[in-house]
Amino acid sequence: MPHELHKESRLLIQEALKDPLVRIPRALKSDYYSHQKGLHLKYLLQVNLFAQFAYASYTLADIYVLTDVHTLLIITKLGFTVLMTLLTIWIYHHKQNLPLFDLLLPTSIIGASAVWFFNLNQSESPYTQIYQYASLVFIVLANLSVHVHFKPSLITSALITLMIYIGVYFNVDGDRQQLILFSLIYLPVLSFSIYISWNSTLKSRIVFLQHTLNEYNRQAFEHMAHTDSLTGLNNRRSFEYLAHRHLLSIVEEDHPDPTSLIVFDVDHFKKINDNYGHDIGDKVLKIIAETACSEMRPTDILARYGGEEFIALLPNTHLDDALKIADGLRQRIERTEVAIDQQQSLRFTISVGAAILETCENDLYTLIKQADIALYQAKANGRNRVEHYDPFVSPILEPQVHGSWSNDRPIKIVGE
């Protein structure tokens, strides 16, 4: 049966892209993380390290404003920076966990803001109420770094906001007017930073889904271009490509493994179509394809070569073994029936021609022609049989139309 690649996943993606929230389908979560990991993990490491360096560097400005607690600032801020830097590097090298890494900087900013406000509230500097507005950088930086998960970033934003408001509350001694003024400035910045986080994660989801959908479509089109739509087997183009590739791989070998080829088609296929309709003819072709697939080995290259003709390249196979495979297939198909209606079923047969690659100089089309000659010999000898190409036997003239050899035996109908 023809197989539509990733059909269910493509439908899920199309539905997700129509959703305003563009949720990643559960079945694709693992692929989403893998995709984002390749894009963002190293970038997030750089962002984390740069943010920690900036936090440590900002100590110079802190010392300038909060001169009376400069020793405490150096110990607490640099100590926290060293701790988070070591933790960041360890997680990057040992965990490689993207969701965790995506929230590492926002989480560390919760602690960084707590350390900063602790020092601010220890100082007696007259500039502390002005300097507290520098804390806005914490929430902006936290949400700028989020690329994968939006919902967890809301939690970290809430915790950072809580930490900032606790710090501001103690810094202004609970002054209501100061808290309102701070809120008038802080809340728009908070909203804007959350919007940035949402937009960034939304873009990541859309890019992933579009990329995945395009890749699935490409694979589906490639599959269609190389697959027979009725039987699901390789089509002629695909067979010739795969067979040529195999033959090229053995050209330079001193003692190449034997390669055989069989060609087979349905006996009296035109009569089947004329008498019972093309739908029955299609069923016959599908059954033959399924039966042939079950008889072939993983290394064999099977295809529908055109019309009612099938072909199979058998690597590492002597002619005697190829004939056994061909006759086993012929016998299985001979015992197969296709239902015509509730009372009647149709039995059908195939004829098979086989040939072996004698030398590496033989090309694919020569091998196919030899197997075709053997197939015509099988037709001439009464059909429902296997013949092999013999260069010492004069070939029978090829019929103008495939399957046009005369045969007086009727198609067998079971139930008549």
Domains and CATH numbers, the chain: 7-219 (no CATH), 236-414 (3.30.70.270)
pLDDT band at 405 (very low <50, low <70, confident <90, very high): very low
Per the model's pLDDT, the better-predicted residue between 241 and 343 turns out to be: 241
For residues 246 and 354, the answer to whether their CB atoms sit within 8 Å is no
**Residue % of the chain over a pLDDT of 70:** 92
Largest CA distance in the chain: 113
- Of 309, 325, 328, 335, nearest to 231 by C-alpha is 309
The whole-number pLDDT of residue 243 equals 94
Please check the confidence at residue 101 and state whether its pLDDT lies above 60: yes
Which of 124-128, 161-165, 253-257, 296-300 is the least confident region?
253-257
Which of 10-24, 46-60, 401-415 is the least confident region?
401-415
Please check the confidence at residue 70 and state whether its pLDDT lies above 90: yes
Please check the confidence at residue 411 and state whether its pLDDT lies above 80: no
The whole-number pLDDT of residue 361 equals 57
pLDDT band at 4 (very low <50, low <70, confident <90, very high): low
For residues 212 and 31, the answer to whether their CB atoms sit within 8 Å is yes
Select, from the ranges 24-28, 110-114, 364-368, 400-404, the one with the highest average predicted confidence (pLDDT).
110-114
Mean pLDDT calculated for residue range 221-250? 90
**In angstroms, what CA-CA distances link 166 with 116, 175, 180, 289?**
12, 12, 14, 73
Of 308, 334, 337, 416, the catalytic one is 308
Mean pLDDT calculated for residue range 119-148? 94
pLDDT band at 2 (very low <50, low <70, confident <90, very high): very low
- Which residues contact residue 108 at a Cβ distance below 8 angstroms, ignoring those fewer than 6 apart? 48, 51, 52, 84, 87, 88
The whole-number pLDDT of residue 65 equals 95
pLDDT band at 323 (very low <50, low <70, confident <90, very high): very high
Report the alpha-carbon distance of residue 245 to residue 234 in Å, rounded.
15
Question: Any idea of the CA torsion for 274, 275, 280, 281, to the nearest 10 degrees?
Answer: -40
| Half-sphere exposure at residue 117, Cβ-oriented, CA atoms within 13 angstroms | 24
The verdict on whether 308 is a catalytic residue reads yes
Please list the alpha-helical segments (H only) found in 123-150. 128-131, 136-144
pLDDT mean across residues, the chain:
89
Please check the confidence at residue 362 and state whether its pLDDT lies above 70: no
Tokens of 72: 């405490």
For residues 73 and 81, the answer to whether their CB atoms sit within 8 Å is no
Which of 1-5, 52-56, 57-61, 350-354 is the least confident region?
1-5
Tokens of 270: 């035109």
Mean pLDDT calculated for residue range 265-272? 94
- Angle subtended at Cα 379 by Cα 377 and Cα 383, rounded to the nearest 5 degrees: 125
The whole-number pLDDT of residue 360 equals 58
Tokens of 204: 């990541």
What is the reported pTM?
A: 0.67
Residues shown for the chain: 416
Residue carrying the six token digits 């300038």: 64
- Angle subtended at Cα 187 by Cα 185 and Cα 190, rounded to the nearest 5 degrees: 115
Q: Sheet holding 301-306: strands in order across?
A: 301-306, 309-315, 259-266, 350-356, 386-388
Residue carrying the six token digits 């070591």: 86
The whole-number pLDDT of residue 3 equals 45
Please check the confidence at residue 399 and state whether its pLDDT lies above 50: no
Please check the confidence at residue 406 and state whether its pLDDT lies above 50: no
